[in-house]
Amino acid sequence: PGKKVLIVYAHQEPKSFNGALLKIAVEELTKQGCSVTVSDLYAMQFEPRATRNDIVGQLHNPEAFNYGVETWEAYKRGGLSKDLVEEQKKVQEADLLIFQFPLFWFNMPAILKGWMDRVLVQGFAYDLSKVYDGGLLQDKLSLFSFTTGGSQEMFSKEGIGGDIRYVLWPMQHGIMHFCGVKVLEPHICYAPENVSEEKRKEMLAAWTQRLKTLWKEEPIDCSPEWYFK
């Protein structure tokens, strides 16, 4: 109760299974007394491209554009574009970040990758030698909740897609852990498009159920062993 949650949501269709998972999270967390904010990336027409437009006013070095340097400098002088400042404010205020999306090509959809690329800039999310356990977004939790096209068997160690944890490494370790954010167990719904209506309902009920005790969960140990053991 009183906790703040930001859900970054990347699906085009409210009637989709991802849309249903989002709705459940908003309702259940609100019911618990949490304050829930949703960044509905497609509805916002969120810009995924990292360009010069992200910097308001003069560039630090107009001779050769370096996105990392320019956004760092812009962050320090308060010169990032309005859409980024708004997202950063939501992140800053949140106790928990939930990312809800369909897995596209063993990773998040481009629109969500663009959110990571543009919002989590140096100075805001990390800094020189302030990375991983020293990252700037400490005391926050994150949770990757996604659907897959492939089955659970395909995404197993012996399956053709390999252990699903392999695809979690760049997202959970490379992004969240890098910024100092703790990571809860991912929530994965395998191939909702290929299962029965009955099974889909079970998946939705499992998500509701998990959310009820979410705040009692311990973060995973975000070490290579968790991913590749």
Amino acid occupying residue 152: Q
- Interacting residues with its own copies between 109 and 168 (CB under 8 A): 109-111, 113-114, 116-118, 120, 131-132, 149, 157, 160-162, 166-167
From residue 56 to residue 85, what is the string marking binding to its own copies with x (rule CB under 8 A)? Answer: -------xxxxxx-----------------
Question: Which residues in 187-216 contact its own copies (CB under 8 A)?
Answer: 193
Strand partners, 143: 98
How far apart are CB 95 and its own copies at their closest, in Å? 22
User: What is the C-alpha R_g of the chain?
Assistant: 18
Half-sphere exposure of 170 (CA within 13 A, CB side): 7
Smallest separation, CB 108 to its own copies (Å)? 8
CA–CA dist 50, 146 (Å, integer)? 24
Cα 167 from chain centroid (whole Å): 14
Binding of residue 13 to its own copies (CB under 8 A)? yes
Q: Are strands 96-102 and 141-147 parallel, antiparallel or unpaired?
A: parallel
Longest CA–CA span in the chain (Å) reads: 59
CA distances from 68 to 54, 55, 58, 85 (A): 11, 11, 15, 16
Q: Which is nearer to its own copies, 91 or 214 (CB)?
A: 91
Residues 39-58: x where in contact with its own copies by CB under 8 A, - otherwise, as a string: ---x--x--xxxxx------
| Residue ranges binding its own copies (CB under 8 A) | 12-13, 15-16, 42, 45, 48-52, 63-68, 104-111, 113-114, 116-118, 120, 131-132, 149, 157, 160-162, 166-167, 169-171, 173-175, 178, 193, 224, 227-228
